[in-house]
Structure 1
């Protein structure tokens, strides 16, 4: 039986994570990037995001099969309690529950950090991604029509949102992921594999 694990990503994972991401850049409209990303730049993305939010990897026998992370939704201070989520699965590992497991752990961690709202921006049509987000209680907020140009066509971007808590009164300070209690983080990561 295969050994599965969800854990926090490290900079040493960048090459393996990027190997999953690159086909999304080069072959799909799921990513709006056009070109390959140099490894150093991709490592810097992981470092910058992981400073504040969880970046999780799902491994099977030590090999990364998928990853998910939350990142800053908007830069202005008043948006500090919102984040944006992303999940990418290795092509050979789709339809095995990896995205669901990653999202369960990811959303529990960001809720513990004090996040109120999670957003997902999806190039449509993308029935699989829309269904996954609806499964987690995301609702459609609106669409940016013909907002991105890739593969010789203008693309629409669906915005979905999920509320993690009621927005009454002033929010508390957002806790960086590395300041969450270590035992709590370990428990969450073990819970969903």
Structure 2
């Protein structure tokens, strides 16, 4: 399988929405029971682009028509009232189409996110993961992320309490203040 990573485009939003929505029924990646709309993902994409944060897609290019099979982004950690204190910390998300599991697309997306974050001066990259999502926890650990926090039963979806696991990677950015 040949995979390319590129910036997401407006024409990708329908597939990006589908990929996010694939994660909802499992209940352990998107802490919502409501499917996303293309308009909602459009607002999200526009917000990320306007703030200088990336939205990357993984594209399978070995077929007759290139196909988006994954999406990844990072944004500010915490809301705007805390932005100054957390300006060197970002929280990321990576989602794959069901057909892309095990393809290596997640690693390629993470490579692009981490490189972008380093270039942008981000020091800490955070992953926030449902405690039952063992594949994601193993994936991040394999990439050098360390579990730094676990908040038991802070979320509730699909009639189940959810644990919130925080994993972080030091990107090695040093400030020259």
Give the equivalent residue in structure 2 for 1:145: 152
The within-5 A match list for 1:19-168 is 19-51=18-50, 52-61=52-61, 62-75=66-79, 76=82, 77-165=84-172, 167=174
User: How big is the shift at 1:14?
Assistant: 0.9
User: Any conservation in 2 of the 1:26–1:35 contact (CA below 8 Å)?
Assistant: no
Residue 50 of structure 1 and its aligned partner are, at CA, apart by: 2.3
SS at match of 1:44: helix
Unaligned stretches of 5+ in structure 2? none
Question: 1:101 Cα deviation (Å)?
Answer: 0.9
Structure ranking higher in helix proportion: 1
Count of equivalent residues: 169
Q: Secondary structure of the residue that 1:158 maps to in structure 2?
A: strand
Partners of 1:26 and 1:36 within 8 A in 2: no
Shift of 1:3: 4.6
Instruction: Give the structure-2-normalised TM-score.
Output: 0.89
Superposed CA deviations along residues 39-81 of structure 1, whole A, max 9, x for unmatched, are 1121000111122211110101311011111111113111111
SS state at 2:32 partner = coil
Cα 1:111–1:154 change in 2 (3 A) is same
Cα RMSD for the two superposed structures: 1.5
Mark the runs of 5 or more structure 1 residues left unpaired by the alignment.
Answer: 171-193
TM-score normalised by length of structure 1? 0.82
Q: Which moved more, 1:100-109 or 1:161-170?
A: 161-170
In structure 2, the CA distance between the partners of 1:115 and 1:168, relative to structure 1 (3 Å rule), is: closer
Separation in structure 1 between the aligned mates of residue 105 and residue 115 of structure 2, nearest angstrom: 16
CA distance in 2, matches of 1:5, 1:85: 19
